[in-house]
Structure 1
């Protein structure tokens, strides 16, 4: 790393001074942040505890929840801290680290969504071969690629960005991103620009195209099947499709906003927070509502561990089998007596 960037402070100019507006935005951010963490932890816990969910689709969903938490923790705590501080600053090293984790969150999410789309494609288009294709070893290999490719490619990007000399110290944003940090440099970096295009193409555009192609093939197969089969396929794909559209819209809106939009401070904070928190917040909600297996497991855990006696109605419970058999035998013996009156 260039020695000239050591011990440098970067200042955020998009927050404004502490006040009523900042305190309200802090409370809203904290509430959304807390709900997002709890919802994703619950989803992860359910997938871990329920053996019926130990399938490729839910393993990928578990990793999507983990990645959502990475994205939240990479940005939200610092935003909440700056909303309350008088001086909104960050060290250059911490800013570079935040660029890495926020970029990793976006790239890794697209890779996970692409792998989930591939899993749905195999499940619907090649159902008889599903278990021979989506083997445990292949699932592990896909998970390794999901993390290996973003880590290695982004590490080189971060090295390029961190090596640039710094002569500006203000960022008119709420947190650090790669483009904002590159603009702090005194020189133009052709390598940084070219490699940035490569990162966007390989880790955003390519997964996006793969997901779209997967759903085109799924749609073509569904058109040739019965109405019942189409409905089942639609129910299977809907949660993933909602998450994919939501995440893509959040990323696109964030990119356009960061480059072209000028809005008030409150709207600035709100848009930045929602672009980071909304996708991981919707993951457990959408899958919990739209996926029958997960909703069934949630109900089962609630009845078994959280409210074990809330749904107990003794007069409606069936008798234990042994007691039932003993009672029936006694009734048969009584009815067989000659002095017994039968109705």
Structure 2
């Protein structure tokens, strides 16, 4: 069977909820507007405020840009599908969606790892911070944070884009590379090997970096002065919360794709599958906006005026 014979992919995870779909549409639309507006606000605040042109806030700006990008790639499609009676997507658009969403997930993970390293240097090596985390170094790290995921996603999609498929139905509300791989007729050996190598080298390496940096930060917190602990907690708590939230999203994604959850209610399965695409872009602007004093004090006059 030739790949070109399929003109569309059916997303079978959607199910009929009658008139409730309009309520769901309004709720998702409100979430989407909140995500877009909050991320744009914080991007603008960081860009225009000279006092926020520091390494930590540059990484935050990259994080917010990625979440804005991921949300714009996902939510409009989801809103259209909620109101549609036919839940299909053309094959080219399916691969384009895979590119956007996997790019978002990869950049998010890289960005969180770089932010962990930044906090580690700031707290464990404060005297060397300005030398180690110069703006040139931060710029290079941000570029690498976007370049390596781009390279990975291009290779990953290329391994499946020209393969022969033996089906066009995936049990998902959006296109996912793992499910496309399962449709490949003669198996996707190269894709599977590449995926395993990437996970066990790059992704586990980034996870090890995050764990190591926070182990060192916690050591400083427990052995340092009260002022050191307060500084560490004030700057690291929102980032650690973001890492944990993203980890939950990745866990739900693995759980959904690797195990049979047919006995789980459809609504819960859908929530689990879109968790990291919805909660992370919503969670981060609120968390960082409320907990980081520089951002909070900069945003306050925008809503309450200058006193």
- 5 Å-filtered alignment, 1:61-140, equals 61-140=60-139
CA-to-aligned-CA distance 1:272-320 (integer Å, 9 cap, x gap): 34331101111111111111111111113335xxx45xx5xxxxxxxxx
The answer as to whether partners of 1:5 and 1:166 remain within 8 angstroms in 2 is: no
Counterpart in the other structure of 1:232: 231
TM-fit CA distance, 1:5: 2.8
Counterpart in the other structure of 1:333: none
Counterpart in the other structure of 1:278: 279
Q: Distance in 2 between matches of 1:277 and 1:294?
A: 22
Counterpart in the other structure of 1:248: 247
Aligned residues: 305
CA-to-aligned-CA distance 1:212-263 (integer Å, 9 cap, x gap): 1001111222333112221221111111111111111111112202332233
Counterpart in the other structure of 2:299: 298
Counterpart in the other structure of 1:48: 47
Between 110-119 and 27-36, the greater mean CA deviation after superposition: 27-36
CA-to-aligned-CA distance 1:177-227 (integer Å, 9 cap, x gap): 111111122111211111011222344322111011001111222333112
Whichever of the two has the greater Rg, that structure is 1
Counterpart in the other structure of 2:34: 35
| Alignment partner of 1:160 is 2:155 | no
The answer as to whether partners of 1:18 and 1:84 remain within 8 angstroms in 2 is: no
Between 3-12 and 115-124, the greater mean CA deviation after superposition: 3-12
TM-fit CA distance, 1:67: 0.8
Aligned partner of residue 90 in structure 1, secondary structure: strand
TM-fit CA distance, 1:3: 7.2
203 and 278 in structure 1: CA distance in 2 versus 1, 3 angstrom threshold? farther
Q: Distance in 1 between matches of 2:79 and 2:187?
A: 33
Counterpart in the other structure of 1:327: none
Q: Unpaired segments of 5 or more residues in structure 1? A: 312-343
TM-score scaled by length of structure 1: 0.84
The answer as to whether partners of 1:164 and 1:182 remain within 8 angstroms in 2 is: no
The answer as to whether partners of 2:221 and 2:229 remain within 8 angstroms in 1 is: yes
The answer as to whether partners of 1:40 and 1:65 remain within 8 angstroms in 2 is: yes
The answer as to whether partners of 2:252 and 2:273 remain within 8 angstroms in 1 is: no
Counterpart in the other structure of 2:170: 171
| Alignment partner of 1:188 is 2:187 | yes
TM-fit CA distance, 1:92: 1.0
CA-to-aligned-CA distance 1:115-160 (integer Å, 9 cap, x gap): 1111111111111111111111111110111111111122111100
Counterpart in the other structure of 2:208: 209
TM-score scaled by length of structure 2: 0.93
Q: Distance in 2 between matches of 1:151 and 1:274?
A: 22
TM-fit CA distance, 1:6: 6.7
The answer as to whether partners of 2:71 and 2:277 remain within 8 angstroms in 1 is: yes
CA-to-aligned-CA distance 1:5-38 (integer Å, 9 cap, x gap): 3762111111123622322322222121111111
TM-fit CA distance, 1:269: 3.3
Aligned partner of residue 161 in structure 1, secondary structure: helix
Aligned partner of residue 43 in structure 1, secondary structure: helix
6 and 58 in structure 1: CA distance in 2 versus 1, 3 angstrom threshold? farther
Q: Distance in 2 between matches of 1:15 and 1:145?
A: 37
Q: Distance in 2 between matches of 1:4 and 1:158?
A: 14
Aligned partner of residue 175 in structure 1, secondary structure: coil
